[in-house]
Amino acid sequence: MGAGSLFWEQFNFVLRCKAGHLNKVVDALSRRAETLVTMGTDVVGFDHFYSLYEEDDDLQDVWKQCSTTGSHGDMIIEDKYLFFGNKLCILRSSLREQLIRELHGGLLRGHLEGDKTVALVKERFYWPQLKRDVRRFVQKCYICQTARAILKTLVCTLFYQFLRVRGHFNGFRIGSSPKPTRYGFCFYGGRQVYKDGTLHSL
């Protein structure tokens, strides 16, 4: 062992795990098991989650087909839970919003934009209209809306200051035929730029 370690010390290398194509089934099984363990510890009452598939409006038909044939397309039942490939199927309940909220703005998340949040949720979970639900949640997120408003005001304020420095903001319409304005704003690029920094489309 000592001689072997001395031999490898003369090389600079980094060990990396490269995913292959031989153990895809094993990888899928391990991912499903990992998802079930994580959900079992994080979600109260998850042990009885599977008993509600039969009554769910979105998944009850697929559940019945998988219960009789074992699988339906990419849908499969494993350990009493319904999976779409490696993704756990989530019932129509408040759990969907809870998962979106956690993956969108949890302790280690930074209130990601809609597409990134969709990708995070789709990586582990599945339900019909998942994209629609995630994007609606992100659009209504109070923190995201506040941050966008602050950023928009900051950008518009800087834009107004830039116009003042360049001598464009002088109470006149910018263009070939300037017209005076009395309302404390100017026109630039087809938009009204007010002195408080707000920007309005015409």
Which long-range contacts does 47-56 make (Cβ < 8 Å, 24+ apart)? 49/81, 49/91, 50/80, 50/81, 50/82, 52/91, 52/93, 53/82, 53/89, 53/91, 56/91, 56/92
What digits encode the pLDDT tens for the residues 5-43? 667 777 776 767 666 555 444 455 567 777 777 776 667
197 pLDDT band (50/70/90 cuts)? very low
Position 55, amino acid:
E
What's the pLDDT tens digit per position in 120-175?
888 889 999 899 998 888 888 777 777 666 666 666 666 666 666 655 554 444 44
pLDDT reported for residue 148:
66
> Mind listing the pLDDT tens digit for each residue in 91-119?
888 888 888 888 877 655 566 677 888 88
Q: Evaluate if pTM is beyond 0.85.
A: no
The answer to whether the beta carbons of residues 199 and 189 sit under 8 Å apart is no
DSSP secondary structure letter of residue 182: S
Question: What are the pLDDT digits (tens) for 29-39?
Answer: 567 777 777 77
Number of Cβ within 10 Å of residue 32's Cβ equals: 19
